[in-house]
Amino acid sequence: MYLDLIKIFVPTTVAFFLGLFLTPVATHFFYKYKMWKKYSRSTGVTNYDFQKINDGKEELKTPRVGGIIIWVSVLTTVLIFYLVSIIFPSDNSFKINFLSRNQTLIPLFTLLIGSLVGLWDDFIQIYGTGKFARDDKSWRKWKVIIVTFISLLIGIWFFYKLDMTSLHIPFFGDINFGILIIPFFIIVALATFSGGVIDGIDGLSGGVLASIFAAYATIGYANNQIDIAAFSAVITGAILAFLWFNIPPARFYMGETGIMGLTITLATLAFLTDSVFILPIVALPLVLTSLSVILQFISKKMRNGKRLFKLAPLHHHFEAIGWSSYKVTMRFWILSIIFAIIGIILAIVSR
């Protein structure tokens, strides 16, 4: 138990301080190469409520690839402890290495591939031209296709390599999905990815995601999946380092290179810890944010353009009714922590 806690908290601390150390160097390059959007979200928007809360000026002078800090810190931390176990072989160094085939290899792959695809998306919006650079609807469809393909590969790995065919439903028991676990994973991954629209206010996504990954670190520990617990905690530490510089006024935004990798990885961890049906509770702020966009779209289509919310996603609705961005962010953080705790409790007592 003592070594298990060291295995979780030492790499987490390393990831946090690595992030703090990498940020000044990364920030220099972010600003040197002007890694911010070419086109503001407010360009061409006639909605008065949106224009009131976003004039677009900050978007066009703040780098949007800050998520690099997160996944580079995680990857570096994983490699450090893996190499220590190889270069200085001993019982303790082997035990503190948390890179394992059955627990952390797939989440690490998911984080890296999702983050790299997201970085490509960011570069399109930074250096590209045409409609894709404006993140138009056709490009968003392509992003959904890409996420679906990545999720398909992971789902196939779950089914054929890890023999994962059933999932636990709290207070009910296990249900056998068989090969249908592959499309079900795709659905869950797309759902978590859709929650990425929460990245819209300084500090909001970082605080919310830190709470969620901390919850999965706890759930992994409760399941005796120590490598998953350590990996989730390391992501939490890296996000907190990012958040240190992302609180208002943000030095940079997370961008797709952060959001895409983290949200798909979250779905992967939910499956590996057999807590998929707890995920909507742990990640409730993401669920509500995504749901607000869906409901707003349905309302406009079925009610002749009438909006259910002043603005969607939900956090912008609260800004539009007069809440300051600080108040929105703090309250989302509080809700995220509370529901992360509720999710942990349900995951433990429902077995």
pLDDT per residue of the chain (351 residues) written in tens, 0 to 9: 778 999 999 999 999 999 999 999 999 999 998 888 877 655 545 455 555 666 556 667 889 899 999 999 999 999 999 999 999 998 888 888 999 988 999 999 999 999 999 999 999 888 877 666 666 677 788 889 999 999 999 999 999 999 999 999 998 899 999 999 999 999 999 999 999 889 889 999 999 999 999 999 999 999 999 999 999 999 999 999 999 999 888 899 999 999 999 999 999 999 999 999 999 999 999 999 999 999 999 999 898 888 999 888 999 999 999 999 999 999 999 999 999 999 999 999 987
State the pLDDT at residue 63: 92
State the pLDDT at residue 93: 83
Q: Vertex 127, ends 122 and 129: CA angle to 5°?
A: 105
Say which residues have a Cβ less than 8 Å from residue 41's Cβ, sequence separation at least 6.
Answer: 50, 54, 56, 59
Report how far residue 79's alpha carbon sits from residue 85's, in angstroms, rounded to the nearest whole number.
10
- Residue 272 tokens, joined: 């590996």
State the pLDDT at residue 58: 67
Report how far residue 351's alpha carbon sits from residue 348's, in angstroms, rounded to the nearest whole number.
6
State the pLDDT at residue 41: 59
DSSP lists the bridge partners of residue 169 as: 173
Q: Is the previous residue joined to 280 through a cis bond, with omega within 30 degrees of 0?
A: no
pTM across the whole model:
0.94
Q: Among residues 25, 30, 56, which one has the least CA distance to residue 43?
A: 56
Report how far residue 82's alpha carbon sits from residue 100's, in angstroms, rounded to the nearest whole number.
10
Domain boundaries, the chain: 2-349
Burial 173-188 (b: 16+ CB within 10 A, else e): eeeebeeebbebbbeb
State the pLDDT at residue 200: 81
Q: Are 82 and 99 in contact (CB under 8 A)?
A: yes
Q: Among residues 65, 99, 91, which one has the least CA distance to residue 228?
A: 99
State the pLDDT at residue 102: 87
State the pLDDT at residue 94: 85
